[in-house]
Structure 1
Amino acid sequence: MGDSKKLKPIEASKQFIYKYFPDCDGAVLAGSVVRGEATDTSDLDIVVFDKSLKSAYRESLIDFGWAIEVFVHNLTSYKHFFNLDYQNAKPSMQRMILEGIIIKDEGIIDSIKEEAKEIMEYGPERWTEEIITTKRYYITDALDDFIGCKNRAEEIFIANSLAELIQEFVLRTNSCWVGSSKWIIRALKQYDVRFTEEFVEAFDTFYKTGEKSKVVLLSEKVLEPFGGRLFEGFSLGKEKL
């Protein structure tokens, strides 16, 4: 299980690198401890660069009193993950590198940070009209299911899906990065704090009381600038004559 004494995050990270990756070319500490958002269950996210490695890997372990997630790359493998994150519009790797505190550097970290910065500032690929149309249909379909459903258990999970669809639609149609889990709210706040409050209130009201009206109004408000709900006439995959 490793050492039971919990060191300060930076000290623990430095000792971790010294113990497990003494010959690496660089390492950064990222995550909630860097952002000042750590909780009692937070772990250490450490990205390691080692030119001797043939391929990237991820590993979880406990040492120095911390749960540690280590993301290990050579000097080119991280580019593949940069690209995957860009395609998914979820720049997890870029964010870790950009916000990360340097633990060790043999002259490579600055250039990698600059790559991450350029991607973050450029923003995600814009949705095409076809994608927007398809997403409108998916939201409409989920909204109709939500409105018509009388089964409380099913309603809850339809609402979950609708919340995911709405946050993605709002962020992507406004050329913003999206997130998963807790990063959904963080990404929404970066876009528009007032909308985020409205979004949270609508779904919180439904989960607490079963009242659907705020979620319905929010969904329609999001769709309205793009033509509103979409069902009749929607087609996907049909060959054009």
Structure 2
Amino acid sequence: MRNLNKLIPIEAAHQFINEHFPNCQGALLAGSVVRGEATETSDLDIVIFDNNLSSSYRESLIQYGWAIEVFVHNLTSYKQFFEMDYERARPSMPRMVSEGTILKDDGVIDSIKKEAMDILSNGPKEWSKETINTKRYFITDALDDFIGCSNRAEELFIANTLAELLSEFVLRTNRQWIGASKWILRSLRNFDERFSNQFVEAFDIFYKTGNKNQVIQLVDYVLHPFGGRLFDGFSLGKS
């Protein structure tokens, strides 16, 4: 049922800032409402920069008819989150900052946005040959389990693991950002829409019919430029 007391996003965000962080130096509204992708269950992602705080924190609450996720930082703590996101190749914080609509700015937002956009444009660090081979091995292992499995319930979960490993491999070997949940597909589409369609089709056919052929072909296609499947001769941690 529609919430008749629900404010429009920008109004709700401004009211939230005025009530909870009136002395902050900067604030942004980010997430799906800014990208024009909001659904009935979307929340408001609000990023706060307040130099009166000693440390960062995250909080969830419901106000003005909205579920609100607030990410609170001082003027240096956000850098640690930028760095962590860079290391894991999932740029959640830089993305929120770069795309965010300014709610308040005492002259700090431009430089922080530039930092975020520089991180995003440069992409994650390149994988080493050792990392690529390790990932090849684990994809091969999951694929072997997938091919050999005849238990439908187990197949579903193996397929999920294989999809995550394969999407990560495609993106990271091309120095692209990765994602989780819905951001797996969004990251693939941002990189190569045609490949992302093939990826979805292969797994969709398996989930609907149980036919594994397109998933197997997709994995072999992705691994081929890097030497294909890897099992024989692989070692990890051997001195």
TM-score by length of structure 1 reads: 0.97
Q: Distance in 2 between matches of 1:64 and 1:18?
A: 13
1:116 matches 2:116: yes
- CA displacement at 1:28 relative to structure 2: 0.1
CA RMSD of aligned residues (A): 0.9
- What is the CA deviation profile of residues 108-164 of structure 1, one whole-angstrom value per residue up to 9, with x for unaligned ones? 000000000111111100000000000000000000000000111100000000000
Output the CA distance in 2 between the equivalents of 1:34 and 1:213: 40
**Structure 1 residue 4 displacement after superposition:** 7.0
Q: Which residue of 2 aligns with 1:145?
A: 145
Q: CA contact under 8 A between 1:30 and 1:97: conserved in structure 2?
A: yes
Q: How many residues align?
A: 237
CA drift of 1:68 comes to: 0.2
For residues 55 and 4 of structure 1, do their structure 2 counterparts lie closer, same or farther at Cα, with a shift above 3 Å needed? Answer: farther
Alpha-carbon distance in 1 for matches of 2:48, 2:157:
38
SS at the partner of 1:161?
helix
What is the distance in 2 between the residues matched to 1:5 and 1:104?
A: 24
- Say if 1:26 and 1:50, in contact at 8 Å, map to a contact too: yes
Paired position in structure 2 for 1:59: 59
Structure 2, unaligned runs of 5 or more: none
Could you tell me which runs of 5 or more consecutive residues in structure 1 were left unpaired when the two chains were aligned: none
How far does residue 5 in structure 1 lie from its aligned partner after superposition? 1.2
Which amino acid is 1:221 matched to? Y
The question of whether the paired residues in 2 share the 8 Å contact of 1:4 and 1:64 is answered with no
Paired position in structure 2 for 1:8? 8
Provide the residue aligned with 1:136 in structure 2.
136
Matches within 5 A, 1:44-123: 44-123=44-123
Identity %: 68
Query: 2 CA distance for matches of 1:11 and 1:237?
Result: 55
Q: Deviations over 1:175-215 (max 9, x none)?
A: 10111110111100011001000000000010111110010
CA distance in 1, matches of 2:201, 2:39: 24
Question: TM-score under structure 2 normalisation?
Answer: 0.98
Distance 1:52 1:4 in 2: 36
| 4+ long deviations beyond 4 Å | none
Letter in 2 for 1:151: N
Letter in 2 for 1:67: A
CA distance in 1, matches of 2:80, 2:15: 28
